[in-house]
Amino acid sequence: MDVDVRADGRTLNQLRPLTCSRNLLNRAHGDTTVLAAVFGPKAGTKKGENPEKASIEVIWKPKTGQIGRREKEYEMILRQTLQSICLLTVHPNTTTSIIVQVIGDNGALLSCAINASCVALVDAGIPLKHLAVAICCGLTVGGHVILDPTVLEEQKLKAVLHLVFPNPPLSIHHKTQSLMKDEPIEHGIITSVTQGVMSVPDYEHCLERGRIACTKISEFVRRNLQSLAREGLAKAT
Amino acid sequence: MMSTKGYKPESGLAAEIEVEAYRRLFPLQYYECHLAESVRPDSRALGRARDTTIALGPVPSADGSALVKIGDTTVLAAIKLEVMTPSIDSPDVGSVAVDFQMPPICSPVVRPGRPAEAAPVIAKQLSDVIMSSGMINLKELSLISGKAAWMAYLDIYCLNADGSLFDAALLSATAAFSHLQIPLVSLNDDGKLITVSEEVKDKAAVEPVNKENRKLTIAVVPFSLTCIVHGKYILADPTSEEESVMDTHVTVVLDSKERLVSLYKAGGAVLLHTSVVKDCIVLAKQRVEELSEILRESLSAMEVD
C-alpha cells in the first residue's frame, strides 16, 4: 500500500461518510453500523459497586453468535470510557445500562460503538462532562497512517489503534477549565487501545493524526446534536 | 500517636485520628499526603516497581511452567503441548491457546461461583500481545506439514491478585515459553504420532520426528509495565489498593527491541497528555531492562541445575 489511493478510492486521510440518526439510535461509519440504546438511570447498583456514584453497565450484542472474549473486552473498554465522561455523582446509587447491538462490521467497530454510545447518552439526557470522540487509525507496513480502516485493510495493517479524545465543552466562561497550562483539554487521551507492533514515534504520529481527524468527527457530532435539539424544541412548543 | 515520616495531618480531624483509621476513611487523601512527599505507603519511590522473582519449572507434569511474583502478586503459568491436525489454510503452523484464570482464592473481590470480570479481558489482551509481538514463531510448532502440529495450551492461574495482574501474567507467559521443552514424538506403525519417553528411546528402534529443535527460539520478548496516573504523579507497578483508590491505569508493553507492542488505557479520571505518555514509556523502558535481566538470570540458573 505505497500508493496514495486505497481500495475503495479514498485517500489515506479520508474517513468514510458518517451518518447518525437519533431516537432510532443508529450511528454508522460507512457500512460499520452500530445501534446503541440507553436505559436509565435505574434505581440501585450492583453488589460491590460504589453506591455514592452512578454505575454504568454495558451489554454488547454481537451481530451473530455468542458473546466471546473480544466482546467482553469491548464491553469493559466501553464501560470504562463512558464512566470517565459521565458525571457519576449526579445520580448516586443508580445504574445506567447501554446496550450496543452490532448491525454491520466493516472495520473500526470499537470506535463506532464508542461514538454511538456517546450520542445515545446525550439523547438519554445523562449528564456528561464532555463528549468523547473515537477514531480508528491503522499503520501500514510502509509506515503510513491511514484513518478509519475497513476489515480488509485491517488484516493487511501492521498495527491498529483505537483512540478516544475528549470534545472540549463549549463554555461561556473564558478559558478556566484547562488543567495543564501548555496542553489544552482536547490533547488528552481518554482511551488508547492498540494491537500490533510499532515504534514509539509511529504511535505519536498516529496520535497526532487521530487528534486532527477527531476535530472533524467532533464537528459532525455537535452539528448533528444541535440540529436534533432544535427539532426537539420545535416539537415541544 | 504514630506519626510516620511524610504523613502530614492537614485538617483538625486528620490530626486527631490514627493513621490506620485515616487510611481507611480517606484513602485518596492518605495517598496524596504520601505522593506530595514522593514516596508510597510501602516505602517505594513513585517510579519503582516491586521486587520481582521468576521460578522456572514449578509444575513437573507440564511441558513448560513458571511462577512469577511481583511483590505479593503471584501468577503461575503452565504450558501443555498436544498434537493436533493443522487447518488446511495454514498446514505448517501450530497454534497457541491462552487462558487466564482468577480463582476465588486470589482476591476478596472475586466471589466463588461468579467468574471474575477481568479474567477474560486479560486473557484476550495476553493472546493479542503474544501473537502480535512475534515472540513465538508458530512454524516451529509444526511437526509434519499438513499432518501434525503442536497445540500449546497456555494456562495462567492467578494465585494472589495484588495489582498489576497483566504485567505478572505476561512475564509468567514469556518465562513459561522460555522454559518449554518440546517432548519427543515418533510415528508408530499406524502412522500416528506417539510421545517417546526417555527410557524407551534408547532401546527401541523408533526414530523421533523432532530430534533437534526441542526448544522454541524466542526472538523478541515483550515486557509490560502498568502505571497509575494521578494528577502530575505517575506510579509504576501499582498494588491492588492503589488500583482501587486511583482509577487511571496505563499499561505499556514494550519488546526487547524497544518497539511498542501495546499502549492500553481505558477511560479513567485523568486525561493522558502526550508528555505523560512519554514519561510512562520511559518508565517502561527501564522496567524492560530490569525484567530482561531477571529473566536471563533465572534461565541461566536453570541451565546450571
**The three three-digit cell numbers of residue B301, written as one number:** 540458573
Contact by Cβ (8 Å): B126, B77: no
Picking from A48, A83, A194, the nearest residue to B267 by CB comes out as A83
> B187 and B59 share a domain?
yes
Q: What is the mean pLDDT of chain B?
A: 85
Alpha-carbon distance of B206 to B219, in angstroms, equals: 32
| pLDDT band, very low/low/confident/very high, at B3 (cuts 50, 70, 90) | very low
Enumerate domains of chain A plus CATH numbers. 18-168+189-236 (3.30.230.70)
Chain B residues close to A196, C-beta within 8 Å: 132, 261
Please check whether residue B134 touches A, CB under 8 A: yes
Percent above pLDDT 90 for chain A: 16
Contact by Cβ (8 Å): A36, A116: yes
pLDDT confidence of residue B154: 95
Contact (CB<8Å) B125/A77: no
| pLDDT band, very low/low/confident/very high, at A78 (cuts 50, 70, 90) | very high
**The three three-digit cell numbers of residue B214, written as one number:** 526441542
Tell whether the model's pLDDT for residue B2 goes beyond 50: no
> B169 and B31 share a domain?
no
Q: Is residue B45 part of a domain?
A: no
Q: What is the mean pLDDT of chain A?
A: 81
> B6 and B140 share a domain?
no
Mean pLDDT of B3-24: 65
SS (H, E, C) B37-82: CCCCCCCCCCCCCCCEEEEECCCCCCCEEEEEEECCEEEEEEEEEE
Contact by Cβ (8 Å): A148, A107: yes
pLDDT in tens, B260-303: 999 999 887 777 788 888 999 999 999 999 999 999 999 888 87
Pairing verdict, β A18-21 and B142-144: unpaired
**E-strand spans in chain A?**
18-21, 26-29, 32-43, 55-61, 94-104, 131-139, 145-147, 159-167, 191-195
The neighbouring-strand residues paired with A195 are A160
Greater model confidence, B192 or B253: B253
Q: Is residue B279 part of a domain?
A: no
Greater model confidence, B54 or B194: B54
pLDDT confidence of residue B225: 94
Percent above pLDDT 70 for chain B: 88
Least confident window among A137-146, B162-171, B210-219: B210-219
Q: Is residue B136 part of a domain?
A: yes
Tell whether the model's pLDDT for residue B146 goes beyond 50: yes
Residue B285, φ and ψ in degrees, nearest 5:
-60, -45
Tell whether the model's pLDDT for residue A52 goes beyond 70: yes
Tell whether the model's pLDDT for residue A191 goes beyond 50: yes
Where on the phi/psi map is residue A221: left (φ > 0), alpha (ψ -120 to 50), or beta?
alpha
Tell whether the model's pLDDT for residue B195 goes beyond 50: yes
Tell whether the model's pLDDT for residue A90 goes beyond 60: yes
Mean pLDDT of B23-27: 87
> B56 and B151 share a domain?
yes
Q: Is residue B283 part of a domain?
A: no
How many CA atoms are closer than 13 Å to the CA of B253, on its beta-carbon side?
A: 31
CA distance B2 to chain A (A): 30
Tell whether the model's pLDDT for residue A179 goes beyond 70: no
Least confident window among A155-169, A179-193, B193-207, B276-290: B193-207
| pLDDT band, very low/low/confident/very high, at A131 (cuts 50, 70, 90) | confident
**Is A119 in a helix, a strand, or coil?**
helix
| pLDDT band, very low/low/confident/very high, at A236 (cuts 50, 70, 90) | low
Picking from B123, B258, B266, the nearest residue to A76 by CB comes out as B266
Q: Of B196, B220, B244, which one is at a domain's C-terminal end?
A: B220
Contact by Cβ (8 Å): A129, A87: yes
Tell whether the model's pLDDT for residue B10 goes beyond 60: no
Alpha-carbon distance of B226 to B263, in angstroms, equals: 10
Picking from A48, A69, A82, the nearest residue to B123 by CB comes out as A69
Q: Which of A67, A69, A157 to mutate to test the interface with B (most CBs of B within 10 A)?
A: A69
Least confident window among A73-82, A91-100, A183-192, B105-114: A183-192
> B96 and B207 share a domain?
yes
Q: Is residue B85 part of a domain?
A: yes
Percent above pLDDT 70 for chain A: 82
Mean pLDDT of B242-254: 90
Mean pLDDT of A137-161: 88
**Residue appearing with cell numbers 445504574:** A95
> B123 and B33 share a domain?
no
pLDDT confidence of residue A1: 44
Residues from A contacting B (CB-CB < 8 Å) are 48, 69-70, 72-73, 76-77, 79-85, 159, 166, 180, 183, 185, 187-200, 202-204, 207
CA distance A5 to chain B (A): 27
> B161 and B196 share a domain?
yes
Least confident window among A20-29, B52-61, B130-139, B215-224: A20-29
| pLDDT band, very low/low/confident/very high, at A180 (cuts 50, 70, 90) | very low
- Closest by CA to B228, choosing from B35, B69, B54, B71, is B35
| pLDDT band, very low/low/confident/very high, at A104 (cuts 50, 70, 90) | confident
**Residue appearing with cell numbers 483505537:** A162
The CATH code of the domain that includes B83 is 3.30.230.70
Tell whether the model's pLDDT for residue B203 goes beyond 80: no
pLDDT confidence of residue B1: 39
Please check whether residue B266 touches A, CB under 8 A: yes
b/e code B161-199 from CB counts within 10 Å (16+ = b): bbbbbbbbbbbbbbbbbbbbebebbbbeeeeebeebeee
> B145 and B8 share a domain?
no
CA distance B298 to chain A (A): 27
Contact (CB<8Å) A199/B259: yes
Q: Is residue B269 part of a domain?
A: no
Please check whether residue B244 touches A, CB under 8 A: no
> B59 and B208 share a domain?
yes
Return the residue of B nearest to A49 by Cα. Answer: B109
For residue B92, what is the DSSP state? T
Residue A28, φ and ψ in degrees, nearest 5:
-130, 145
Tell whether the model's pLDDT for residue B255 goes beyond 70: yes
Tell whether the model's pLDDT for residue A223 goes beyond 70: yes
Q: Of B187, B202, B220, which one is at a domain's C-terminal end?
A: B220
**Is B253 in a helix, a strand, or coil?**
strand
| pLDDT band, very low/low/confident/very high, at B99 (cuts 50, 70, 90) | very high
DSSP H stretches of helix in chain B: 12-16, 19-25, 27-36, 118-132, 165-179, 198-203, 240-245, 274-304
Mean pLDDT of B175-192: 82
Mean pLDDT of B45-60: 91
Alpha-carbon distance of A115 to A99, in angstroms, equals: 13
Where on the phi/psi map is residue A151: left (φ > 0), alpha (ψ -120 to 50), or beta?
alpha
What is the complex's ipTM, to 2 decimals? 0.83
Q: Is residue B208 part of a domain?
A: yes
**Which pTM value belongs to this model?**
0.86
Tell whether the model's pLDDT for residue A74 goes beyond 80: yes
Percent above pLDDT 90 for chain B: 42
Cβ neighbours around A211 below 10 Å, total: 18
Domain interval for residue B8: 1-37
> B65 and B189 share a domain?
yes
| pLDDT band, very low/low/confident/very high, at B236 (cuts 50, 70, 90) | very high
Alpha-carbon distance of A136 to A59, in angstroms, equals: 21
Chain B residues close to A189, C-beta within 8 Å: 265, 271-273, 277
Count: domains in chain B: 2
CA distance A84 to chain B (A): 5
Contact (CB<8Å) A79/B277: no
> B210 and B70 share a domain?
yes
Greater model confidence, B50 or A11: B50
Q: Is residue B278 part of a domain?
A: no
Q: For chain B, give me the number of helices (H) and strands (E)? A: 8, 12
Mean pLDDT of A68-83: 91
pLDDT confidence of residue B6: 45
Sign of CA dihedral A120, A121, A122, A125: positive
pLDDT confidence of residue B212: 63
> B62 and B114 share a domain?
yes
User: Residue length, chain A?
Assistant: 237
Return the residue of B nearest to A79 by Cα. Answer: B267
